[in-house]
Amino acid sequence: MSNHLASLKNFSTIVADTGDLASIARLRPQDATTNPSLLLKAARDAQTRELVRASLARSAARGEAGALAIEQLAVDIGCEILKLVPGRVSTEVDPRASFDTEETVRRALRLSERYAAAGIGRERVLIKIASTWEGIRAAERLEREGVHCNLTLLFSFAQAVACADAGVTLISPFVGRIYDWYCKDRGVADIAADEDPGVASVTRIYRYYKRHGYATEIMGASFRKVEQIERLAGCDLLTISPELLDQLAAAPGEIARCLSPDDVAAADPRQPLSQPDFLWQHNGDAMAVEKLAEGIRKFDVDARALEREVAGMHS
């Protein structure tokens, strides 16, 4: 008997939104993605504790500590994930570099070099970078050097347009966080999937990209409920938590495709953005401004907590 997850795989590539190796091994997605919050959870998990300790020991032997040790840990966990998935893993640049193009490039190249030293080719790694103007410019340079990028914390249409024009490999628009903001703004507990602003945002981006022939892939992310996922069936990729993947697998029957490159007549006209245009349009979206800043802050909090966690493992 078919189920919603199996049906969804006919239309979209499924990505596991977790650093939990046991969940990835059980669910067998095509790709997987991590971030500082997921790495912190993995560092605290008894099942991955020895992996973390071994990674830290290797870093210590090279005289690396702090942020450099965290970079190596992220790569080591990424390498373990790549043993379980046939596709790619996304590994995030430290969020503290989000407004520094040069530092983002340096850190991204260092992550790429660490993967190369572990025998992992660039085609299997996506470097995650926050979708600030500076991050987008860094990704544009990295793509020219053959380092593939996943632009994350994407909330506004302006961010999506700028990413496409920069030629990034993939973007991750955050459906659930958009939904959260509008629920709070409207003072409601829920918004129907057919009226969901997060779903509408990804749909608009999808139609724009397909209508104008951009190669950048769209990976819907940050889901709160299966209905949001199902309304985006056909999106290039969907990164989904293990809990929601289990719910989809438990739902019997087929689902319909909602997004198709053949249905893009209503797309926005092409609109390349200068930096002033980008800043004007992005800052005109209160939700996007708030959620981008909040997302960077939260990842920074977890990145610092991860550094304290691993420092405690040395003591």
| Amino acid (1-letter code) at residue 27 | L
171: phi then psi, degrees, rounded to nearest 5: -120, 155
Residue 236 β-bridge partners? none
Burial degree of 46 (CB within 10 A; 0-12, 13-18, 19+): exposed
**133-144 vs 275-283: helix crossing angle, rounded to 10:** 130
Tokens 């790619």 -> residue: 88
Query: Which entry of 9, 41, 83, 128 is annotated as an active-site residue?
Result: 128
Our answer to whether residue 128 is catalytic in this structure is yes
DSSP state, residue 62: T
Cα angle, residue 212 at apex, residues 207 and 218 outer, rounded to 5°: 50
The torsion angle over the Cα atoms of residues 288, 33, 246 and 260, rounded to 10 degrees, is: 60
Mind telling me the catalytic residues?
128
